[in-house]
Structure 1
Amino acid sequence: MVGFKLRVISPEKVLLEAEVASAIFPGEDGFFGILPRHAPMVSLTASNLLTAKLSDGGDVDLLIHDGFAEIRDNVLTVLTRSAEKASDVDLERARSAAERARKRIRANKAEYDYARAVSSLRRALAREKYGNRS
């Protein structure tokens, strides 16, 4: 099967490097579907689920949180602030984080705090939605 390489990288480590048949990742303005020999592109990513079909037939689900994606020379590279397996999400912690972020948004103090709270809320909502997914 013809595929392409998927690399997911955080500041700390390479989280995934695999040969895949297809991938769907969350862009700032919606989801992008990637197949082998995709045209080169760069996009901002959003906090949401990245899914990939491995060349051997398995599946990968990763929650990624803000960053960039580049497809070039049959390699999709996702540089993300952080990422985690959907199955590793602590749902109770995600719910608590979402509630804290909502409170900070309602308080609407400094613009910087508001932007951080919105980003935190997006991460928490993605974790709630896709957490414990196998």
Structure 2
Amino acid sequence: MTTIRCDIVSAEAEIFHGEATLVVASGVMGELGIAPRHAPLITRLKPGQVDVVRPDGERLSFYVSGGILEVQPQVVTVLADTALRAADIDEAAALKAKQEAQDALSNRKDAIELAEAQAQLVQAIAQLQALERLRKQLKH
């Protein structure tokens, strides 16, 4: 077996369904590379990028807001509240969200607002990093 099926699903829709030779994601404990015949595994994901390498060598990039990655013998499943193709990320909105989160952090009010602002900042930065990686891939 030289490929594994990969499904990336958000709360709203299936974002990707297809064969892959490698899936790379940011787990809470570090980067994960999942290839065919990987041992079964379930882990939480950090907000960040998920890369899927297709059998033809094409590399697809997706942004996830965090979630769960499950590896079974025949399939890798990414379940996320929010998942977007990197090319579909709205850079202006991500920059605005980053600025708003930074403003909220500098105007610390209470612990709940602080935690929400930190989470929004992490997600905005992860979206911008996914865009940057996509741009680098397109240049090569």
Q: TM-score, normalised by structure 2?
A: 0.87
List structure 1 segments (4+ residues) > 6 angstroms apart after TM superposition.
none
Amino acid of the structure 1 residue aligned with 2:19 = E
Q: Secondary structure at the match of 2:117?
A: helix
Partner of 1:107: 107
More helix by share: 2
Identity of counterpart residues, as a percentage?
A: 25
Gapped regions of structure 2 (runs ≥ 5):
none
RMSD: 1.6
The alignment's TM-score, normalised by the length of structure 1, stands at 0.91
Paired residues of 1:88 and 1:131 also in contact (CA < 8 A):
no
Structure 1 position 104, deviation (Å): 1.7
Contact 1:94 1:124 in 2 (8 A): yes
The equivalent residue for 1:13 is 13
The residue that corresponds to 1:72 in the other structure is 72
Q: Secondary structure at the match of 1:108?
A: coil
Match of 2:66, SS? strand
Task: Specify every segment of 5 or more residues in structure 1 that has no aligned partner in the other structure, as ranges.
Answer: none
**Could you list the per-position Cα deviations for residues 91-122 of structure 1 after superposition, in whole angstroms to 9, with x for gaps in the alignment?**
22211110111122233333332222122111
Once residues 29 and 114 of structure 2 are traced to their aligned partners in structure 1, the CA distance between those partners, rounded to angstroms, is: 21
3-state SS of 1:81 partner: coil
5 Å matches for 1:7-46? 7-46=7-46
Deviation at 1:15, TM superposition (A): 0.9
